Chain A
Amino acid sequence: MNEMPPSKDESEDVDDHYRRVSALDPSRPSEPVRRAVLEHAARLAEERTAANAPAKISSTRPARHRSWWRPAAFGTLAAAALAGVLIAPQFLTPRAPPKSASAPAQVSQPKAAASPEAPVEIKEQLSGSAAAERTPAPPEAQGNAAPASDSAAAKNAPTKAQSMAKVENTSKARSGAATSNDSETDARRTQTITSPASRMLAAPRAAAPVPQELAAELRRAAEIGDVPTLQSLLGRQPVIDARDESGRTALMLATLHGQAAAVDALLARGADPNAADARGMTPLQAAVAGNQPAIVAALQRAGAR
Chain B
Amino acid sequence: MTVTDETDEALMARYGRGDVAAFELLYRRHEMRIWRYLERNVGNRATADELMQEVWFAVARDATRYEASARFTTWLFTIAHNRMIDSIRTGRRHTSLETLGYEAESVVAQLTADPGLGPLAAAVTRDQAGALLRAIETLPGEQRQAFLLQVEGDLSVEEIAAITDTSFETTKSRLRYARSKLRELLKDYV
Contacts and interface: CB of A to CB of B under 8 A. Distances in A.
Interface stretch (A38-46, A260-268, A296-304): A38-46
B182 interface: yes
Interface residues of B, number: 53
Interface of A: 1, 3-6, 10-11, 13-15, 17-22, 24-30, 33-34, 36-38, 40-42, 44-46, 48-49, 52, 216, 220, 223, 245-246, 253, 256-257, 277, 279, 281, 286, 289-290
Interface stretch (B2-10, B66-74, B86-94): B86-94
Contacts, number: 137
Interface of B: 15-20, 23-24, 27, 31-32, 35-36, 39, 45, 48-49, 52-54, 56-57, 60-64, 82, 86, 89-92, 107, 110-111, 114, 125, 128-129, 132, 150-151, 173, 176-177, 179-180, 182-183, 186, 189-190
6 contacts: A26-B111, A27-B110, A38-B20, A41-B27, A46-B18, A256-B90
A49 B18 contact: yes
B89 A41 contact: no
Contacts of B24: 38, 41
A22 B129 CA distance: 8
Given A18-B132, A48-B64, A216-B61, A25 B183 contact: no
A40 B60 contact: yes
B57 A37 contact: yes
A6 B107 contact: no
A214 to B, nearest CB: 14
Contacts of B57: 37, 40, 245
Contacts of A10: 179, 183
Contacts of A17: 128, 132, 186, 189-190
Contact of B53 (A27, A36, A290): A36
Nearest to B186: A17
B177 to A, nearest CB: 7
B75 to A, nearest CB: 12
Contact of A11 (B19, B173, B179): B179
Nearest to A20: B128
A1 B177 CA distance: 7
B82 A14 contact: no
B52 A29 contact: yes
Contacts of A15: 150-151, 179
A4 B180 CA distance: 8
Contacts of A52: 18
A153 B188 CA distance: 93
A24 B61 CA distance: 32
Contacts of B18: 45-46, 48-49, 52
Contacts of A277: 90
A256 B89 contact: yes
A63 B90 CA distance: 55
B27 A3 contact: no
Report, nearest first, the 10 A-B pairs whose CB atoms are least far apart: A5-B176, A49-B18, A37-B56, A41-B60, A41-B23, A45-B18, A21-B132, A42-B20, A45-B20, A11-B179
A289 B89 contact: yes
A26 B110 contact: yes
